[in-house]
Structure 1
């Protein structure tokens, strides 16, 4: 009997050992399977074969092979970034089986209902939040950040509850789902975090006060000594350099006065009259006089060359940059690509460098002196019974900034009531006044002599001449610095304002800056002129990819072709192992070879050169309010999400900044937006998500919102007249001849 008992115990121990080994095997299998799925998702490549698209590829880039590429494509398409939740769930299932919890689930299947509901809620709410807030991050995914599930959930709730309501509801569902799935108590979690915070706070405080702060003070002291030494050294060197340059300048100036043939100033007239009798006594020698005159001219030219040589190397000589092409230069015919882009011909430059025509204000308004501005400001404050000291002035072309200090104590609680009175005293529409310190304020008001910013003036700046080909000229900031936008960093742009002329002038500024910088080989346009012929003056220019588009039905197939062209470009870039169009074109130009064919001619055995493709829609309300809205929205969304590196860029504008025109999907996919002057605070919110555009001054005054900042920047747009624009376009047509349109069969 004892032997039977020992045999039974042995069998039980053997069964436990076998069962434990099987659970370990299942745990290892599930863990490695979850790791395989995670690696497949992590190494997803858009051009690999997948469920959402088809095509032949030479090499599968996904580390999981064909199966991994198919899995990643399906799950990213359905769930977006939340596809990473499934590898975690696979590993968690293996852990549950290892711990033996699966017996409880199999014995009582109802135990699986609550975690299942929690998983579904977590997945659905997470995908919906990704669509509502992170749609623009899914550049390389097959669909959206939240996938098809996120589109169904997020867009449905956003259409019913608005963006804020949908966000709050989805957050509530997400936390509820996490609680049901994991059994996590959020209150207990907060208690635990609070307990450990209170526990370790004294230790951290002791470490900071007794170790970190003394070490930091010692480092700051050493850094201060080093900065002081460097400052003294720089001050000594700069002072010596300035003294030498000033002495050289005075010497050249003295020599120039000696050889100057001009008339004498009125203050030297008496000396000139005293010298006349002595000169009359000397017999005049015509030959000697002519020789001395030629000598003076030669010495004067020599001095001018010396001055040009003394300029620092980093400062470009603008006259050479403007006239870098000869008068006989012309645009190359379409189809031939040079190694570097042409800037523009001299006649086009002269057309733009002419004085602007048709302006409300003169092109060159004399700037007001700082002393006049200070007296003007002090007089206005004295009228209101306050005495101030102006510590600094920051004059700009449109706005003037002041840093002021009140002589007596000023009650900042009365600031909102004081600002309208100050605006009335200064005779301006709006004044911005912010307290920076007790009794110190920063003041911003319109320039009494507002200056127009000619576009040609910005073309002379060194910043523009050194910029890349895909660069837009915007204008200047509040202190008069040139502002440019690179399409490589700001791939798409939304422009909105209620003044039609202001919007069209700003669009002309952007398009002209691209035309001057690029030939048709480097840049092509797709222009939607619309029913009102907004861009009719751009007809038949050589940069057009297709003729001007006048109706939405013609625009739709062209946008669909642009999506296919984007995918083709990505395949070409993958073939050459590059990540963007700039690097691809560099490789193309570097590897360009010519091989003789049977007829003895030379042909290029390379892929196509890829020009930038800019799609301009001057009035997006014609698209969003048209019956084909849903069909148009899909290719535009695909382009705004994925076309950044492929060289396809969209510039969208509207005069009706309402929620039906600038939709939530557009704002999510195009975070870079420019607001011109609008009429109401609601319109400003539709464009920027905040107030401010209703207080702009018009005539190119704008707020620029860049992605990731959340705070718009005040800019002042450059001006190019319609006459200058048409003159440039006429010159381009004469030089390039008839345009070479790209044949798109479906667009015919």
Structure 2
């Protein structure tokens, strides 16, 4: 049965009106039908008599063969089952051909139209008796009943499955509709991030490179006093009143190797600092970097309308973002319109007292109350005259590094 069904299907699919057949005669120029001459006659006869319902014959033959194979494996449910299936098959073909003749009209590629001769014989009398709407409803009801008899299909089961599928699709749509705001928000955020990234890339390409100042000299230039004391006297007498003790009592400053931040690391820290401030909606750019012996100062130029207090209040957040222990915000730098942010170096340089006392800056202070404070951000000795300072500020112990204490000198 299966080979016959396949052969009939091939004959119908390759039907050609110019082939010699029952409804056409002419010069024999060859047969285009894949089924040969017999296939041409067979397909023409089926289409001429049954119309487009002839394409159902191969399907019904295959279903019949499958049914026969199944019936061999089990006993028939009812002795009337083969008869009912035959009636359903005939009703399916007849009602389908009549519906095609009434609703599809005439066909240019089929000799007897879409419904064939059988569709005309059944459809036109019903149309004359019940009218087109009544005949269509009647034939459609017969078509559904015939499908049920021929295949055993239950339309209630079809409606139940259709309703179940509708509920599943409805739940799926409802779940996706609930997620629609989240999806739209995520898409909007992604577009916004891409726009910010594009603007930032353009701004970075147009921005001037960060100017990194050279590191301070490792050694301080010695004063004349330190040079004189390097010469060992031949005769050492008693110390005169008011004479300062020799500098040789102090440890000599060891030459230090600059182990501060590298050039690449300073650029990375500059970008991280700018990005961290942008997270708090503060626009500022690093214009220069000053590496020092103990700390490194980043000089930032804030945008118009940005107050220094906005940046100084974020010192802990900036330190957390840069993964450093602490930062110090310098709101005002004399002679400059920038804000300084100082971070400790990864490897701090040891500042020796002997190095400050041997410097020219300390020797230039003629006051007996000259005080050596250390080195500034540029690595230069910081010396003050205590007689001229009414208030001296000194950093508190490390446990209270964020506070300062003052001492008033009278």
Give TM class, smaller chain. Answer: 0.3 to 0.5
What TM-score comes out, normalization by structure 1 length? 0.24
Q: Which has the higher helix share?
A: 1
What TM-score comes out, normalization by structure 2 length? 0.42
